[in-house]
Structure 1
């Protein structure tokens, strides 16, 4: 607050305006009337005024001998004011006979009030003229130098009174400004607390850690201690309560007290569905146990609000103040605490929903795994029977072109079904952390050439030409079958969406990193689809025109990331797509140990 006062005192214009405002329109005061009467008595004048003027008013802070109705009004129209000429001159104004003055005789105060002789001294504050201290006579009069000395001395006393009142007004305004700033700062802190609480509780996958951070964030804004407690025994929260205190010793004391059985009984006895707000000296006699409990915690003021969900009372948020000058919790603080409890309730409900979703996903993944295994079981004998049938037909000399074509198509469909089953198995392996790697040293250039050759016939049938660009051997330690699976998915997509245009496969080696690129010149992708296509069951095109389950790129990304690498796509609609795989030549040790563990678990 002293800073606010100093800022006002450093502004003369503002200070003068405050002084004028502090006096204009106020009640009569004996201090000013005493000085006015003294001036009239010493100078033997019938009228005396302490006048304050602005552009619109002539207000009489004190008026002695002024005729009615002006005396009762304590205000003169500017058209009747002689004091305004004192302000204009900015010096003492002495008039022997206003009726003889070519300017003053037009003033209505001369005609209607009978002001003939006038002597006035400006009232000056910080270089700003506020008004005039004057005496008037109804007959012509010669004012002496002694008369002016008296007026000046009494005017100085008037200004002393003005300064006292202005100083008080400055202090009042400064206190009001200080209170406004404190209120604004408190409001800002409350909004920041609620915003931070929303951010902390947004990650429902880490609810327990979020509740601890929330308890720590609440202090000291709402008190010196905070306890977040949930009353549910099941669900996503398995620990608690979550405690926070402004002092380490206070936190130890809080933890010790809450772990005491008798303290817990007193604590539980205060659990109610509604809000509890009390101070130590206001604890009702029925809750003496709570009073003792609060003393042990060194808490003088307590605020507890319920955490209410659709299931009912699921928790409590408690804050407390322990300092000797602790003030009771105000309504606005109760509202903030209730808003925090609502956010905790929302986080609890979201955590429950997340738990249900995870359980559903886990059940789905288990179903996919079981279904894929069950589907794979009859596929192997079916493939063998088709192959045996094809050989039997050939051995019997019954190689009818139509029969052989049907057998080949059937074998192709069985092979396709086997691939889909393997992808479903890979999805379940990724979800359960069982996507293992069988690492061996191999040449990526040779692998890319071999896999590309397998797709030449399919590409030619689709009207695309396959090109392979390799710089020579590019060696590293990877899982050969998994990389074949990745490249097969990329080539299959390139042929499917390549619009019968050329497709380029390239391999580059750069120190400890290698790059594998598959580029087509087909339909391309929209920008918003380039990240989505790597998600499970996601597709960037209509399934009516293009087949597939949306799993190939998802599994490919998981395989590449299991190797410690990355896969990205650059694409524009109508200009094709370029998929780029970057792999380290050695799988990172941390990644390797994790994958070997998963592989061992899978094998077990």
Structure 2
């Protein structure tokens, strides 16, 4: 870059420092990471350029990215031809490159400024009064600038400078949010790929192991000790398969997808009884089932079983030791409710808002001796919503913790269930029944 006159020592030092920043590979990578270079105009940025022009009453505002070889105009108000069409400027003609150290360029009269008056763009661009503020990302890299230009002498007020700084912050907020969204999408894709590969690789040896164990059981059908060992190994392999399925479903839920269902006619009461009987062998006789008898549904029996398993085992793990756990089944109109209640320390109000998020564990869960992945409750919520229902939770020191699952009797009606359930649930009392 050749200036039209000799710069003083201060100005020369600034140009040298900024020139070194110009080709910094980390800065250039930060610009690429925005995904904005050489992209079409966007209203999100043009709106801010227009707003600055209106609030400051100036004829020209520009949002730019400063690359190693050019200045790219991402948005503008009042940009003249041919720059409005080409939307770029060779880097040697760029004034904005001299903000790459993070220092703004602010002048009320560029023609009398010891630095600006010698810049070759000042005259041709009609630059007299100017504000150039750097766009600085969270890592401290200057990506470009937001500037306004007035073709006459003008003393900028403190209010006008504040307006420009606030709008510059808004531009960076937009850029940063876009980057975060892009990173989250990349992470999600990597996680999905990893989960799919992991679960595929795990299922193959598990399947082979189950076949071998079953074969062993058949060969030694007359040996009780072998049959007992086969049963224990099979149970462990089944548990590992359920964990793999939980991981797959949690990944789908986090990606905003439905958990797949295989619906058929089933009895929710019968499913619940079987689940609690098996859990009682692990958690002793703590479960108290209150129900109204058979509850026939068109639903996914496996999904219903997973809901009961997760809620009941969670209540046993994290509720007050030795206290009864109430499981209440009820039917009202076109929907059924399942409530699982336990006593013990309440869940904090803030954690209630995030308790159904994948991989989240409440403080009490983290502090307990029980290990987990934080997948049970997200799966419960995902399965409930896949059926067209919902999952909610309340918790207090007086009443304990209660998870409530509300489902339509027919999963095929899930599209209309939410609207119907809102009116049916209003003012409804807790379902009652008998102890089984």
TM-score bucket of the superposed structures, by smaller chain:
0.5 to 0.7
- TM-score (normalised: structure 1): 0.50
- Quick one: distance in 2 between partners of 1:542 and 1:271? 51
Aligned to 1:517: 338
Corresponding residue of 2:191:
364
Q: How far apart in 1 are the matches of 2:366 and 2:144?
A: 48
Which of 300, 310, 316 is residue 489 of structure 1 equivalent to?
Answer: 310
Whole-angstrom distance in 2 between the partners of 1:506 and 1:255: 72
Q: Which residue number in structure 1 is paired with residue 75 of structure 2?
A: 242
Specify the alignment match of 1:9 in structure 2: none
Distance 1:306 1:548, change over 3 A: closer
Cα distance, 1:534 vs. partner?
A: 1.4
Q: Structure 1, unaligned stretches of length 5 or more?
A: 1-204, 234-238, 244-250, 592-604
**Number of residue-to-residue matches in the alignment:** 358
Task: Using the TM superposition, give the Cα deviation of residue 568 of structure 1 relative to its aligned residue in structure 2, in angstroms.
Answer: 0.9
250, 260, 277: which is aligned to 2:107? 277
Q: Which residue of 2 aligns with 1:427?
A: 250
Query: What secondary structure does 2:414 align onto?
Result: coil
Shift of 1:554: 1.3
The structure-2 alpha-carbon separation of the partners of 1:209 and 1:312, relative to structure 1 and needing over 3 Å to count, comes to same
Aligned-pair CA distance for 1:379: 1.0
- Per the alignment, residue 222 of structure 1 pairs with 56
Correspondence for 1:455:
276
Distance (Å, rounded) in 1 between the aligned partners of 2:145 and 2:389? 47
1:531-582 per-residue CA deviation (whole Å, 9 max, x = no partner) reads 3331222223246522332211112223333445321111224743221123
How far is the alpha carbon of 1:317 from its aligned partner? 0.4
Write out per-residue CA displacement over residues 403-450 of structure 1, whole angstroms, 9 at most, x where no aligned residue. Answer: 44333222221111111111112123334455453464646xx13432
Larger relative contact order (Cα-Cα within 8 Å, sequence gap ≥ 6): 2
Structure 1 221/562 Cα, relative in aligned 2: closer, same or farther at 3 Å?
A: farther
Given that 2:275 and 2:308 are in contact with CA atoms closer than 8 Å, whether structure 1 keeps it comes out as no
Alignment of 1:546 with 2:370, yes or no, is yes
Please name the residue that 2:8 is paired with: none
Residue 388 of structure 1 corresponds to which residue in structure 2? Answer: 215
- Alignment TM-score, normalising by the size of structure 2: 0.66
Question: 1:469 aligns to what?
Answer: 291
Question: Which residue of the partner structure matches residue 306 of structure 1?
Answer: 134
Q: 1:368 to 1:328 in 2, by over 3 A?
A: same
Distance 1:290 1:483 in 2: 72
CA contact (8 A) 1:534 1:554 kept: yes
* Structure 1 or 2: more helix by fraction: 1
Q: In structure 2, the residue corresponding to 1:437 is in which secondary structure?
A: coil
**Matches of 1:428 and 1:449 in 2, distance apart?**
30
SS in 2 for 1:517: strand
Tell me the CA shift for residue 344 of structure 1: 4.6
Aligned-pair distance for 1:241? 1.4
Q: Find the residue that maps to 1:520 and give its secondary structure.
A: strand
Where does residue 405 of structure 2 map in the other structure?
581
CA contact (8 A) 1:365 1:428 kept: yes
Instruction: Flag the 1:223–1:515 CA change in 2: closer, same or farther, 3 A.
Output: farther
Comparing 370-379 with 455-464, which one deviates more in the overlay?
Answer: 455-464
Per the alignment, do residues 343 and 580 of structure 1 end up closer, same or farther by CA in structure 2, a change over 3 Å counting?
same
Q: 1:375 aligns with which of 193, 196, 202?
A: 202
Say if 1:524 and 1:575, in contact at 8 Å, map to a contact too. Answer: no
Q: Which secondary structure state, in structure 2, belongs to the residue aligned with residue 241 of structure 1?
A: strand
Once the two structures are superposed, residues 208-262 of structure 1 have per-residue CA deviations (whole angstroms, 9 ceiling, x without a partner) of 87645544554533344543223369xxxxx97134xxxxxxx5x5486543349
Alignment check: 8 A CA contact 1:263 1:293 kept: no
| SS in structure 2 of the partner of residue 548 of structure 1 | coil
Give the C-alpha shift of residue 316 in structure 1.
0.8
CA contact (8 A) 1:459 1:466 kept: no
The one of 141, 148, 168 equivalent to 1:319 is: 148
Separation in 2, partners of 1:342, 1:389: 69
**1:448, 1:231 → 2: CA distance?**
67
Q: Is the 8 A contact 1:565 1:582 kept in 2?
A: yes
Structure 1 distance, partners of 2:95, 2:208, is 70
Alignment of 1:327-366 (within 5 A): 327-330=154-157, 333-334=160-161, 337-338=164-165, 340-341=167-168, 344-345=171-172, 348=175, 352=179, 355-356=182-183, 358-366=185-193
Deviating above 6 A after TM superposition, structure 1's stretches of 4 or more consecutive aligned residues are 205-209, 280-285
Q: Is the 8 A contact 1:308 1:342 kept in 2?
A: no
Distance in 1 between the 2:241 and 2:145 partners? 55
**Alignment CA distance shift 1:506-1:321 (3 Å):** farther
Residue 530 (structure 1) aligned with residue 372 (structure 2): no
Q: Give yes or no for contact 2:259–2:382 (8 Å, CA) kept in 1.
A: no
